[in-house]
């Protein structure tokens, strides 16, 4: 493994919103990655989520295949996805399960697929509870990110991003053993996340690495160790577009370390009808917008198409 990166730690319970927002600003300018502690989600709930996730991935393959991903939600088997579509290797060495909105228009259009209660009796209840909790943490964080950009705290509500947001939990399992192949395989190949902000929990097994300067070759990869109880948070590409590249959506990947690894990712993406366009405070005559305005739904659709096109 490479060198470990000491990322800033944000205390979400701090009553000092302005100074917390300042710390977030610094973290987003420098790394696009930071830790969030004291977020209010109990350790007990997190343990239950990991336990239920293991229960699901331990099911026979045919049970998991019965929940194969449809309209973005459900099970993706090993090697189904290639996050770095430029690679010639087989897909990434991981299996996953996505679930999303519990209520609202998106929940109606994209209904969740749940494992049967007969197989995993407390699964749905645990996952729904986690979804509600992590969505609330994500909303709080976006308020601070808005403050960090000198915007009103409810900016992302006002532009419609959080009105029925496209928020998704993704359970991941990386197998310990990797198939032998002539080309290098990854747990998750190099990518940046697509949305606004991502909140990640891992079981402590290493493997996550970030590349702080994607424009510099060769890429330099640094390890991001887990901190027990804290989220690893990173900025996504749509936030980078909103901020004209001021807030960084940092390249990251998961390397296989010869040990099974579980993680739980929460992607907080804007409502599909939200128009993501450069913030006025982030552009000027000398620094014009680098990205044209785009509807969040169109942007996400295209990114998913590229990720799954080559599998």
| Rounded distance between C-alpha atoms, residue 187 and residue 175, angstroms | 8
Nearer to Fe ion, 123 or 231 (CB): 231
142 binds, among Fe ion, ligand AKG, none (CB under 5 to 8 A by kind): none
| Rounded distance between C-alpha atoms, residue 270 and residue 304, angstroms | 15
Nearer to ligand AKG, 104 or 258 (CB): 258
Nearer to ligand AKG, 170 or 279 (CB): 170
CB of 192 to Fe ion, least distance (A): 7
Q: Is 222 in the site for Fe ion (CB under 5 A)?
A: no
Nearer to ligand AKG, 20 or 307 (CB): 307
Dihedrals φ, ψ of 275, to 5°?
A: -90, 115
64 binds, among ligand AKG, Fe ion, none (CB under 5 to 8 A by kind): none
49 binds, among ligand AKG, Fe ion, none (CB under 5 to 8 A by kind): none
Cβ–Cβ under 8 Å, residues 38 and 12: yes
Cβ–Cβ under 8 Å, residues 221 and 2: yes
Helices (H), ranges, 123-223: 123-148, 155-158
State which of positions 181-220 bind Fe ion (CB under 5 A).
193
CB of 191 to Fe ion, least distance (A): 6
Nearer to ligand AKG, 153 or 223 (CB): 223
CB of 87 to ligand AKG, least distance (A): 15
| Rounded distance between C-alpha atoms, residue 69 and residue 308, angstroms | 12
Burial status of residue 209 (CB atoms within 10 A of its CB: 0-12, 13-18, 19 or more): buried
CB of 188 to ligand AKG, least distance (A): 5
27 binds, among ligand AKG, Fe ion, none (CB under 5 to 8 A by kind): none
Helices (H), ranges, 149-203: 155-158
Question: Residue 10's closest CA among 22, 23, 28, 19?
Answer: 23
197 binds, among Fe ion, ligand AKG, none (CB under 5 to 8 A by kind): none
Nearer to Fe ion, 95 or 193 (CB): 193
CB of 252 to Fe ion, least distance (A): 6
State which of positions 50-79 bind Fe ion (CB under 5 A).
none
Nearer to Fe ion, 92 or 193 (CB): 193
CB of 150 to Fe ion, least distance (A): 27
Cβ–Cβ under 8 Å, residues 191 and 253: yes
| Rounded distance between C-alpha atoms, residue 253 and residue 32, angstroms | 14
CB of 17 to ligand AKG, least distance (A): 28
Cβ–Cβ under 8 Å, residues 301 and 268: no
Beta carbons within 10 angstroms of residue 181's beta carbon:
10
26, 211, 247, 249 from 33: Cα distances, Å: 10, 11, 10, 8
Name the site residues for ligand AKG (rule: CB under 6 A): 170, 172, 188, 193, 200, 202, 208, 252, 254, 263, 265
Question: Contact residues for Fe ion (CB under 5 A)?
Answer: 193
């Amino acid at each position: 493994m490479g060198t470990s990166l000491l990322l800033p730690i944000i205390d979400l319970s701090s009553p000092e919103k302005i100074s917390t927002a300042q710390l977030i600003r610094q973290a987003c300018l420098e790394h696009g990655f930071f830790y969030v502690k004291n977020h209010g989600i109990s350790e007990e709930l997190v343990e239950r989520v990991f336990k239920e996730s293991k229960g699901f991935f331990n099911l026979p393959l045919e049970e998991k295949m019965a929940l194969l991903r449809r309209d973005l939600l459900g099970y993706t088997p090993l090697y189904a996805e290639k996050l770095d579509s430029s690679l010639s290797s087989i897909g990434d060495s991981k299996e996953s399960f996505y679930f999303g909105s519990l209520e609202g228009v998106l929940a109606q259009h994209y209904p969740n697929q749940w494992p049967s209660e007969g197989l995993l009796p407390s699964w749905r209840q645990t996952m729904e509870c986690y979804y509600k909790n992590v969505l609330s943490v994500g909303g709080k964080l976006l308020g601070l990110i808005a403050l960090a950009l000198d915007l009103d705290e409810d900016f992302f509500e006002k532009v419609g991003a959080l009105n029925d947001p496209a928020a998704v939990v993704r359970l991941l399992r990386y197998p310990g053993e990797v198939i032998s192949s002539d080309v290098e395989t990854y747990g998750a190949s190099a990518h940046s996340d697509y949305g606004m902000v991502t909140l990640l929990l891992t079981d402590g097994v290493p493997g996550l690495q970030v590349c702080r300067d994607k424009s510099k070759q060769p890429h330099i990869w640094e390890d991001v160790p887990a901190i027990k109880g804290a989220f690893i948070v990173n900025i996504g590409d749509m936030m980078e577009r909103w901020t004209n590249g001021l807030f960084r959506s940092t390249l990251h990947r998961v390397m296989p370390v010869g040990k099974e690894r579980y993680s739980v990712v929460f992607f907080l993406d804007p409502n599909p009808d939200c128009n993501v366009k450069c913030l006025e405070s982030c552009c000027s005559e000398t620094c014009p917008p680098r990205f044209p305005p785009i509807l969040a739904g169109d942007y996400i659709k295209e990114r998913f198409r590229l990720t799954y096109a080559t599998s």
